[in-house]
Amino acid sequence: MRADVEYSPVGEGLGMSEFWLYVWMRRVAVIAAHVIAVGLTVLISVLSRPGTSLFSWHPVCMSIAYILCLTEGILLFSPEGTPFCFKARKGKVRLHWFIQALVILAAATGVGFMVASKNVSERPHLATWHSLLGVGTLAATVLQAACGICLLFPKLLKLSPPRLKLYHATCGLVVYLLATVTVVSAMFSDWFQATVKGVVWYAFLLLPLFPALVIMNQITNAYLPRKKITT
C-alpha cells in the first residue's frame, strides 16, 4: 500500500509576508548573480587587453567559459527566472546543451592560448596551483559533459532518469565550485596582482563567490531531500 507522503516546499513554515520576502530575496540574488557573471567577464576581458599577446586571450576565453557560460547554463533552470525567454523545460535543456558546448569550446581555446604562450616564452607548464586547478577543472568539465550525455540513454545504464539527474546536478555543482576556486586562484597570479591592486583586488576576489552561493542554493533546494510531511 502506498504511503501518503509529501515533500514540504521551500519556505514551508513561513508566514505569508515572510514567504514573499524570501521569494523576493531569492529573485534579487539570482539577478545579482547574472549581473556579476556578465560584469566580471567584461571587466576581466578589458583588463586582459586581448590581442596584445598570446596570453591576453587566456583570461578572456576562460572567463567567458567559466564565469559567464557555466553560470548562465546552470541559472537557466532557476525557478526565480532567467533572462532567456524559454519557459518549456525542453527548450531550456537544448539551450543548456548549447551553452555547455560553448564552455568546453572556450575553455579548450583558452588552454590552447596558454600552452602557446608558455612555449613561446619557454616557461614551464603546470608550475602553479592555478594551472593545476585549471587542468582539474577542465577534466571535470569534460566528465560532467559525458555525464550529461548519459541522460540521453538512461536505459543503457539501468538507472532511473531522476537518479541520473541527481547525479548530473551534483557533479555540476562540484564542477562549478572547482571552477570558482580556480578563478579565485587566478586573482593571486603575478599578472592579475600587477594589473589590479588595492581595494579593487579584494572586490574581484569576492565577486565570484556570490554566484557560487546562489547556484549552490539552487541545486541543493532542487535535489536534496526535504523534510517529509506524513498525513
Kindly list the domain boundaries of the chain, sorted by start residue: 16-122+135-219
- Give residue 147's identity as a one-letter amino acid code: C
Instruction: Choose among 7, 33, 54: nearest CA to 207.
Output: 33
Pick left, alpha or beta for residue 198 (phi over 0 → left; psi -120 to 50 → alpha; otherwise beta).
left
Q: How far apart are CA 51 and CA 217, in angstroms?
A: 38
Evaluate the CA torsion angle 28, 29, 34, 37 in order and state its sign: positive
Task: Summarize pLDDT for 179-206 with one digit per residue, the tens.
Answer: 999 999 999 999 999 999 999 999 999 9
Report residue 125 as a C-alpha cell. 607548464
228, 8 contact by CB (below 8 A):
yes
Which H or E element spans position 189? none
Per-residue pLDDT at 91? 84
Report residue 165 as a C-alpha cell. 539527474
Task: Summarize pLDDT for 6-15 with one digit per residue, the tens.
Answer: 334 455 555 6
Report residue 200 as a C-alpha cell. 579593487
Phi, psi of 7 (to 5 degrees): -100, 135
Per-residue pLDDT at 64? 98
Q: What is the largest CA-CA distance in the chain?
A: 71
Phi, psi of 25 (to 5 degrees): -65, -40
DSSP E strands: which ranges in the chain? 5-7, 228-230
CATH number listed for the domain at residues 16-122+135-219: 1.20.120.1770
Q: How far apart are CA 168 and CA 46, in angstroms?
A: 34
- Calculate ∠ Cα 80-86-90, nearest 5°: 105
Q: Low-confidence residues of the chain, pLDDT below 50?
A: 1-9, 227-231
Q: Is 129 in a helix, a strand, or coil?
A: helix
149, 100 contact by CB (below 8 A):
no
Report residue 112 as a C-alpha cell. 590552447
Q: Cell 567577464, residue?
A: 41
Per-residue pLDDT at 157? 67
Per-residue pLDDT at 61? 97
